Structure 1
Amino acid sequence: MSWFNKKTKPEETGDESLLATYRSTGDLALLGKLYERYMPLVYGVCLKYLQDEEQSKDAVMQIFEDLVDKVVKHDIKQFRSWLYVLSRNYCLMQLRSAKKFDTVSVDDVMESAFVLHPDNSSKEEYLQSLERCMEKLNDAQKQTVDLFYLQEKCYKDIAGQTGFSLNEVKSFIQNGKRNLKICMEKNSER
C-alpha cells in the first residue's frame, strides 16, 4: 500500500481546523484527510509494538474507525501527539488481550465424573459445591454467568439488562467460568 510509504508533511489546512470542521459537520472525508497525514506515524507505532506488518496495517484501519467517535469525545490540543498516544494504547491493548487466558468451555467447567455418571448423593454434593463456588464470584461475574448459562440469555440481552457493555459481559462470563473451574477443582481435591 502506497500510503505506508508517504512522508508526513504540513498541509494547507491546519489539523485543528480540519478537526473542528469534522466535529461540526461529521464529514468523514475531512477526518480521513486529517488521518491520512499521520498514517505513516500510526503504522510506525503499530509496527514497533505489534512487530507484524499485516497486524499493523489492520491496526491502522481499526484506529481510524475508533477515531470517528473518539475525536468528538476528547478535548484534543495537538492532534499528532494525541493520535500517537491513542495508537500506542491501542497496540498495548492488543498485546494485552493476546496474553489473556485461553477461554474455557463451560463443558470443561461442568464436566466431571459427577455430571457424567451421577448418583444421587454425588450429584447433590456437586451441586452444593457449584453453588458455593458461584457465591465466591464477584457480583458482576455471578450475575452474567447466571443470566448466560442458567437463564440462557444472549450477550446483547445481558448487556441491556445489566447496563454492562458487550465487552464487559464477555469478560465477566469468561472470568467467571475460569474462576468456577478453579474453585470446583479445589473442592474436588478435598
Structure 2
Amino acid sequence: MNSSVTPFDFQGCLAACARGDRSALQALYDHEGSRLLGVVRRIVRDDAMAEDIVHDAFIRIWTRATSFDATRGSARGWIYSINRHLALNAVRDSRQETALDDADIATLVGEFDEGAIWSGSAKIYRCLEQLQPAPQRCVLHAYVDGCSHAEIASLMGAPLGTVKAWIKRSLEALRECMT
C-alpha cells in the first residue's frame, strides 16, 4: 500500500491570501497556528501575550501576503519570521515598560471619569496634552468611552499589543504628571 502525504502548500496559501481568499488564511491557521503559538510562547513566556501576537501575526500575514517574495526564502519561513519578529519586539518592549500595580491603576481610573476630564481641570488637560496623539486617544477611548483594548485597536487601526503598550506607558506618564 502506497501512502504518500501531500506536503502543505504554504506558498499557494500565501498567493491565495494575496488574492483575498479567506479560506486560505483559515487553512494556514488550521495547519500551522498551534505550532506558531508554541514558538511564540517559548519566546514571550506568557500565554495571553502569545495568543495576541499570533493573532496580530495572522493579520499581518493576511495584509502583507502580496509582499511575499519566493526568491528571498520559503513561504513557511516568511510566516515564522513574522511571528518571531513580533514576539521579539514584544519582549523588547516589555523590558522598557514600568509595571503598574492595581492600586496605581485604580488611582488613575479615578482621575479619568468623564466629568473630571470635561470639567476643565487644568491639571488633567495639561497632563493629557503631554501625551503623543495616538496614546492620548487610546487612554481617552479606554477611560472615557469605556472601550476594551481590542475595540481600541480596531478604532485606531493598530495592533492590539501596541495599544496595550501605549495605554500602559501613558498611565505611567499620567501618574507621574498628576503627582
Give the TM-score range, shorter chain.
0.5 to 0.7
Q: Could you say which structure has the larger radius of gyration?
A: 1
Identity %: 17
**TM-score in terms of structure 1 length:** 0.50
The 3 A distance-change label for structure 1 pair 94 and 21 is same
Query: Over aligned residues, Cα RMSD in angstroms?
Result: 4.6
Unpaired segments ≥5 residues, structure 1: 1-9, 113-126, 186-190
Distance between the aligned counterparts of 1:67 and 1:139, measured in 2? 27
1:180 aligns with 2:142: no
Unpaired segments ≥5 residues, structure 2: 112-120
The 3 A distance-change label for structure 1 pair 70 and 107 is same
2:64 counterpart (32, 49, 73):
73
The 3 A distance-change label for structure 1 pair 110 and 153 is closer
Distance between the aligned counterparts of 1:107 and 1:145, measured in 2? 14
**Residue in 2 aligned with 1:16?**
11
The 3 A distance-change label for structure 1 pair 182 and 27 is same
Report SS of the residue matched to 2:99. Answer: coil
**Residue in 2 aligned with 1:89?**
85
Distance between the aligned counterparts of 1:110 and 1:33, measured in 2? 40
- Tell me how many residue pairs correspond in the alignment: 152
Report SS of the residue matched to 1:63. Answer: helix
Higher RCO (Cα < 8 Å, 6 or more apart): 2
**TM-score in terms of structure 2 length:** 0.52
Describe how 1:35-184 pairs up with structure 2 within 5 A.
Answer: 35=32, 39=35, 42=36, 46=40, 49-50=43-44, 59=50, 63=54, 66-67=57-58, 70-71=61-62, 73-74=64-65, 75-76=67-68, 77=70, 78-96=74-92, 98-99=94-95, 100-103=97-100, 105-109=104-108, 127-149=121-143, 151-155=144-148, 156=151, 160=155, 163-165=156-158, 167=160, 169-184=163-178
